[in-house]
Each structure stands twice: as structure tokens, then as C-alpha cells.
Amino acid sequence: MSTFDLLILPGDGIGTEIMVEVDRIIKWFNDQGTVTFNTQQSLVGGAAFDAHGEAISDETMDMAQKADAVIFGAVGGPKWDDVPYEARPEAGLLRLRKDLGLFANLRPAICYPALAQSSSLKHELVEGLDILIVRELTGGVYFGEPKEITDLGNGQQRAVDTQIYETYEIDRIARVAFDLARKRGNLVHSAEKRNVMKTGVLWNQVVTKIHEDDFKDVSLEHILADNCAMQLVRNPKQFDVIVTDNLFGDILSDAAAMLTGSLGMLPSASIGAKDDQGRTKAMYEPVHGSAPDIAGQGKANPIAMIASFAMALRYSFSKAQEADMIETAIANVLDQGLRTGDIMQEGKRLVSTTDMGTAIIAELNKQTA
Ligand code: IPM
Ligand code: MG
């Protein structure tokens, strides 16, 4: 039987509530006895700042390095608006991504049939939607130096962020996108701004070359990132895989996520390169944030978090069947009309975070009965 080590980082706000539901699912799998998870839990974000003055401690980073996968909730909230920039909750998340080398962020935007009506677009535009955004996650303007605000001494300040990409960074993310496209609709859109940015020019050249050399069988379209945003809300079903840089990926993935009815539905996987022992580091987190406005009230939708754990089963542990079980359970509870507030529709049943978790576990039980 396979045993895996998980590091659980609930973080802040609704992160702690939705993680309780994942914990229950992990226990459910442990009780089934086909796969076993050893879990450790630690602090990240504002919770870590409150405990020891930084957004993630070296000890927690060490635990993350050793784990087979990190399961991450969400970080941030108004409580930490005034903490120093270096210690802000998001810094914990960015350090995890950078230090674990998680360069490939996979953000599927799938429209569950039961939710097509909750999209802000007409349902026929989103029914059956299945897009995968492949976002570069360890480079670009998020990490480029210099990154600073300097005092110009005349009452003015100057802020600089730096967008940098090197060939190897574009090369490896493009390969991830082409590989995944082969297992799906075989179409990649590469989004950049080559009309105004040198990083866009290089991005375009490198993606073209990788395609030419190794992925001729996959269709490739280059698209300007602003046009991509427009096309996502005009006719989203034209897309299969979208590969893009860190900042454009941040923005485009929020737009794509919302097409599906709620940000509370979408999982993500952040994956690194294979190390010398053939291990791949990975972290799984919902696309949504810590939602401080509804935190602590049992209103949060745990589906994105639970679906992120399903992605861990699929990508880190090669447990496709178990991942399918979770995804089926989610689809079934939606078909039964259960809804948390974010996806509530007339005539459906409003349930709490815990009730949603309980219903998903009941559906898992049905599948093994
Ligand atoms: C995301 C988030 C993060 C990002 C924040 C919390 C730093 O918006 O994962 O999309 O900008 O990458
Ligand atoms: Mg974002």
C-alpha cells in the first residue's frame, strides 16, 4: 500500500474552515485502506506572522521541502494590512512557490453542468467549458529585481518592478502546456504582449521554437494577452490550454474561473521539476483567496479546496481513480441541488461548509458501497 506525507497549511480566513473538510476526506481515504496519508500541519500567512513575525518560518519551509505534497488553504486579510511588506501574508505563499521551484501552475476552469446558470455569461457560452490555464509561477514581475520604491528627494518617489524571463523558463512551461494539451483538446494558446514587451517577444520566439521542434502535432495559436482576456468573456469555449506568464496568468485565471459560476469552485496545482531522486515537488491550493468577509461563519464553499486535493491524488500520487471519485462526488452533490452561498440559485438548498463536506463524503461512501 502506498503512503504519502502531506504538509497541511490552512493559512487564514476561510482557509482554516475549508481545510477541515479536506482533513475529513483524507481520514476517509485512510479508513478505506487503499492509500495512506501521514499529515503534518503548520502555519502560513497572517497566522504565521501572528505566531512568529514572519509569513512562513524556516521550520515550515523545511517541512514543505520534505513533504510529498503541500496542501494550501488561503492567506491574507485586512488584519495584516499594516504589517511590513516583507512579512505580509502573501509573502509566505510566494516563498513556498519560489523555494520549492513550483514553476508550473495548472488552473483548470471547468463548468459543472449544474452551475451553468450561475455564470455571469449566458449559459450556452459556458456549458461544457473546460479550459486549462498553465501559468508560469516562479518568474516574471513577481520576482524580478530590482523591485523597490526609491525616494527621489524632491517629494517624489519612484517605484520599480521588473519583468524578466530567460529562455529556459519559457521553454519548460511551454513543454508542460504542450504535453497537457496532447491529453486534452490538442490546442495551445500562448498569451503575451509582444507588441509592447521584450519578454513578450522572447516568449513568442521560444514557444514557437519548442512547438516547431517537438510538438508539431499540437495546434498552437499566439494571442495578445489583452485580446485573450476579451476572447475569454466573448467566446470562452474556443480555448483548450492557455499558457502565459506569471502576471497575465494571475489575471486571466481569475477571469476564466468566474466564467464557471464561482471562484469557490476552482482548484489549482503548482508543480516543480523532477529532482535527482525523481521526485516532483507540488502544492495544491484553491484559486480563491481567504475571503475575510465571510470567514468564521460556516459559509465558505469547500469545493475548490477538496478539488485541489483531488488534483494532488491525480498529479502527485497517480491515484486517478480516487481523484475521479472525488470529482464525481462533487458533481453529484451539485446535481442534488446543494449550494453554498457563493453558488446559490433559486430553488436550491443553501448549505454550510460542513454540510457540503458531509454530503461529499456521503457520495464517496455510495461509490464504495
Ligand atoms: C493567486 C493569488 C496570488 C497571486 C496572491 C495571493 C499573491 O492572487 O494565487 O492567484 O497573485 O499569485
Ligand atoms: Mg490571483
Transcribe 94-125 into DSSP letters.
Answer: HHHHHHTT--EEEEEEE--GGGGGGSSS-HHH
> For ligand 1, what atom is nearest to the CA of residue 137?
12
- Retrieve residue 246's grid coordinates: 506569471
CB 237 within 8 A of CB 79: no
Q: What are phi and psi of 135, to 5 degrees?
A: -105, 130
Q: Which residues line ligand 1 at a C-beta cut-off of 6 Å?
A: 90, 93, 250
For 15-43, b/e burial (b = at least 16 CB within 10 A) is: bbbbbebbbbbbeebeeeeebebebeebb
Q: Tell me the best of 90, 142, 251, 268 to mutate to test the pocket of ligand 1, counting ligand atoms within 8 Å of each CB and taking the most.
A: 90
CB 60 within 8 A of CB 44: yes
> For ligand 1, what atom is nearest to the CA of residue 289?
6
DSSP letter for 139, please. S
Q: Residue with the nearest Cα to atom 9 of ligand 1?
A: 287
* pLDDT tens for the 369 residues of the chain, in order: 789 999 999 999 999 999 999 999 999 999 998 899 999 999 999 999 999 999 999 999 999 999 999 999 999 999 999 999 999 999 999 999 999 999 999 999 999 888 888 888 999 999 999 999 999 999 999 999 999 999 999 999 999 999 999 999 999 999 999 999 999 999 999 999 999 999 999 999 999 999 999 999 999 999 999 999 999 999 999 999 999 999 999 999 989 988 887 778 889 999 999 888 888 999 999 999 999 999 999 999 999 999 999 999 999 999 999 999 999 999 999 999 999 999 998 999 999 999 999 999 999 999 998
Q: Tell me the best of 250, 253, 285, 288 to mutate to test the pocket of ligand 1, counting ligand atoms within 8 Å of each CB and taking the most.
A: 250
Q: Residue with the nearest Cα to atom 7 of ligand 1?
A: 90
In angstroms, rounded to a whole number, what is the distance separating the alpha carbons of residues 288 and 305? 9
pLDDT in tens, 151-160: 999 999 999 9
Q: What's the pLDDT score for residue 235? A: 97
Q: What's the pLDDT score for residue 65? A: 96
> For ligand 1, what atom is nearest to the CA of residue 253?
10
Q: What's the pLDDT score for residue 2? A: 87
Q: What's the pLDDT score for residue 193? A: 98
Q: Residue with the nearest Cα to atom 12 of ligand 1?
A: 250
184 Cα to the center of ligand 1, angstroms: 26
Q: What's the pLDDT score for residue 116? A: 86
Q: What's the pLDDT score for residue 114? A: 85
Q: What's the pLDDT score for residue 173? A: 98
- Known catalytic residues are 142, 193, 226, 250, 254
Q: Residue with the nearest Cα to atom 8 of ligand 1?
A: 250
251 Cα to the center of ligand 2, angstroms: 6
Closest CA to 73 of 38, 27, 41: 41
247 Cα to the center of ligand 2, angstroms: 9
pTM (2 d.p.)? 0.94
